[in-house]
């Protein structure tokens, strides 16, 4: 039987990828009591990294927004793995941390981060509304435009 969130993903036309494997010395997620902490996810797609470059130099704000959305899709893929496939266990998204690889003086971090935030709300509805940090970074792994980490409360 397909769960409510899986049905919502299908309705949105979102196919979750296999959760990306860590590229360094860390684990992709940690569950402590009723919280799942998802490690930072980058712009990895099935055919490799996307949105490589610096927002405000190589990439537009709109491309940064799309990059953050892709990161959030990878966050949800990691979350699904942590929950043994049952996304209906999510009680709420507690917090997102969105890092933007941007030029010095860049001020549109919130607009880029909305790519991740909007996706989480599209998928989980009111349970997806969360606290957030949107910050600029002098660089990110592999020069990707964005990285997103998350905390979810689960049943």
Q: Please indicate, yes or no, if residue 71 is contained in any of the structural domains.
A: yes
Phi, psi at 46, each rounded to 5°: -55, -30
Residue with tokens 């266990």: 89
> What percent of the chain shows pLDDT beyond 70?
99
Both tokens of 110, joined, read 């919130």
> Domain total for the chain?
1
Both tokens of 132, joined, read 């957030």
- In 2-103 the beta strands, taken as DSSP E runs, fall at 29-32, 35-41, 44-45, 48-49, 90-101
Q: Domain containing 148: what range?
A: 4-14+28-154
Q: Please indicate, yes or no, if residue 23 is contained in any of the structural domains.
A: no
Q: Kindly report the number of other CB atoms within 10 A of residue 1's CB atom.
A: 3
CA distances from 143 to 23, 43, 57, 63 (A): 14, 10, 12, 14
Q: Please indicate, yes or no, if residue 91 is contained in any of the structural domains.
A: yes
Q: Please indicate, yes or no, if residue 20 is contained in any of the structural domains.
A: no
**3 state SS of 69:** helix
pLDDT digits (tens, 9 = 90+) for 48-68: 999 999 999 999 999 999 999
Q: Please indicate, yes or no, if residue 22 is contained in any of the structural domains.
A: no
Q: Please indicate, yes or no, if residue 113 is contained in any of the structural domains.
A: yes
Say if strands 29-32 and 35-41 run parallel, antiparallel, or are unpaired.
antiparallel
pLDDT digits (tens, 9 = 90+) for 100-150: 999 999 999 999 999 999 999 999 999 999 999 999 999 999 999 999 999
Residue with tokens 């099935």: 46
Instruction: Compute the distance between CA of residue 6 and CA of residue 2 in angstroms, rounded to an integer.
Output: 6
Q: Please indicate, yes or no, if residue 88 is contained in any of the structural domains.
A: yes
Looking at residue 1, its pLDDT comes to: 52
Q: Please indicate, yes or no, if residue 19 is contained in any of the structural domains.
A: no
pLDDT digits (tens, 9 = 90+) for 65-96: 999 999 999 999 999 999 999 999 999 999 99
CATH number, position 74: 3.30.1330.40
């Amino acid at each position: 039987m397909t769960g409510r969130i899986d049905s919502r993903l299908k309705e949105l036309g979102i196919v979750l990828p296999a959760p990306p494997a860590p590229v360094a010395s860390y684990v992709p997620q940690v569950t402590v009591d009723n919280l799942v902490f998802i490690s930072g996810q980058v712009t990895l797609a099935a055919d490799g990294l996307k949105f490589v470059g610096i927002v405000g130099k190589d990439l537009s704000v709109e491309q940064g927004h799309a990059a953050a959305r892709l990161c959030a899709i990878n966050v949800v893929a990691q979350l699904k793995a942590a929950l043994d496939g049952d996304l209906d266990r999510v009680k709420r998204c507690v917090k997102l941390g969105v890092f933007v690889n941007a030029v010095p003086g860049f001020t549109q971090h919130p607009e880029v981060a909305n790519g991740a935030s909007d996706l989480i709300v599209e998928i989980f509805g009111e349970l997806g509304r969360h606290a957030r940090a949107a910050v600029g970074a002098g660089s990110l792994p592999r020069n990707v435009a964005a990285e997103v980490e998350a905390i979810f409360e689960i049943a």
